[in-house]
Structures are given as C-alpha cells and as structure tokens.
C-alpha cells in the first residue's frame, strides 16, 4: 500500500470513516464559525448496466481508470468560500485527466451525472465551475485543488467526473469546458450553502 493511501486511510479512520472496496465512506465534521468539512473515499469498479445498487465510484474506461483505483475527495466550506480537493491513485502515469464537479450522481450511464456545476448558470469558465484537472505522476497518483469564492447550491453538486483528456479553455479547437469522454465518475454529496448552519451533523 502506498504512503498516500495509508495517510488517507489513517485520516479516514481518525474521523470515524472506513472505506471498503466498492463502497464509499463519508464523514462530515463541523467546527466553529460555520467551518465544515466533507470527506469521501471510494474505489472504482466497472459500471454494470442494470445494477440496482451501483458502487459510488464507477469506471467507464478501464484503460484510463482501472478497477481498484482509489479516489478521495475533500471539501471544506468556510462561510461563503470553499476548497475542493481530489486525490486519485492507480491511474495511468503521465496521463492528464480533465476532471470536474458535475450536477448529478453517477450511474452505469456515463451521461447520468449531467453537466458541470456552474455558479452562474450558463457561464463556462474555470472560475465559474470546479475544474480539478491533474496529471498522474510516475506512481499513477494525481491530485488537484480548487478554491472558489462561492459555495454550491444545496444539493446542486453531486459527483466528480474524470474525463479522457485535459479540459479545454476554448483555444485548442474544442469548446471551452470540453474534456472528451467520461472515463470514471464518483458520487459525492457535496455540501451546499447551508453548511455550517443549523445543528452540527453527527460524525
Ligand atoms: Cu466533466
């Protein structure tokens, strides 16, 4: 087991969450002044059409995202700002994965996760969406962080999708936001604008 996996597993255990193969673990922790953190961990498994209970982490392209690859997503909300971090292990070394937060959960149908989450609907820019492109290192581990001066609408962001190539800014012949086919999808119930308000959720 690689160091990053051990570290993430130790952290997950520390906050009361244990990730197992084919499932996702969730932990929500809240501190003072509306500070709220969400962790999700999963292990990619092939999508099986018709599966009534598909795993939270689905691969649609096992050449790019092999079964067994692990994914961790962390979101921190601080008032009206947020930070989203994704780490994936077990990928193709040197490959760049266009990666975004999408609006709907994953199913065996790659299109089910819908479009990119947009802060201002209809505006396709990196700043108005959450792009988390990364290039896997020599060990097949990729990591990206996005900080935004806004927070998802409640229930409006539901997955992280890995695509087959880097996200276009519109200067390379592809439309802005386009990153090719969907290689994998991880369902994440992202925290929304209500994070930090109301009762503290149980950890
Ligand atoms: Cu996408």
Give the least confident one: 16-30, 40-54, 137-151, 186-200.
16-30
Q: From the CA of 64, how far away is ligand 1's center (Å)?
A: 15
Structure tokens at 118: 């947009």
Whether 75 contacts 82, CB under 8 Å: yes
Q: From the CA of 131, how far away is ligand 1's center (Å)?
A: 8
Whether 65 contacts 134, CB under 8 Å: no
Q: Which residue, among 148, 165, 168, has the nearest Cα to 157 in the 3D structure?
A: 148
Q: What is the pLDDT of residues 102-115, one digit of tens each?
A: 999 999 999 999 99
This prediction's pTM:
0.83
CB-proximal residues (5 Å) to ion ligand 1: 100, 161
Q: From the CA of 86, how far away is ligand 1's center (Å)?
A: 14
Q: What is the pLDDT of residues 169-186, one digit of tens each?
A: 998 899 999 999 999 999
Q: From the CA of 9, how far away is ligand 1's center (Å)?
A: 27
Q: What is residue 89's predicted lDDT score, i.e. its pLDDT?
A: 98
């Amino acid at each position: 087991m690689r160091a990053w996996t051990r570290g993430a597993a130790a952290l997950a255990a520390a906050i009361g969450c244990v990730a197992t193969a084919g499932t996702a673990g969730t932990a929500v922790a809240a501190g003072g002044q509306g500070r709220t953190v969400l962790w999700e961990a999963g292990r990619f498994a092939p999508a099986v059409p018709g599966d009534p209970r598909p795993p939270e982490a689905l691969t649609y392209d096992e050449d790019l995202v092999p079964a067994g690859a692990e994914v961790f997503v962390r979101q921190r909300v601080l008032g009206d700002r947020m930070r989203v971090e994704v780490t994936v292990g077990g990928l193709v070394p040197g490959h760049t994965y266009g990666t975004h937060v999408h609006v709907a959960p994953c199913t065996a149908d790659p299109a089910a996760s819908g479009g990119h989450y947009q802060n201002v609907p209809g505006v396709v820019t990196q700043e108005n969406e959450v792009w988390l492109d990364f290039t896997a290192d020599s060990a097949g581990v990729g990591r990206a962080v996005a900080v935004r001066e806004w927070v998802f609408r409640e229930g409006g962001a539901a997955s992280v999708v890995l695509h087959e190539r880097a996200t276009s800014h519109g200067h390379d012949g592809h439309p802005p936001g386009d990153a090719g086919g969907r290689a994998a999808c991880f369902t994440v119930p992202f925290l929304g604008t209500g994070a930090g308000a109301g009762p503290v959720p149980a950890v």
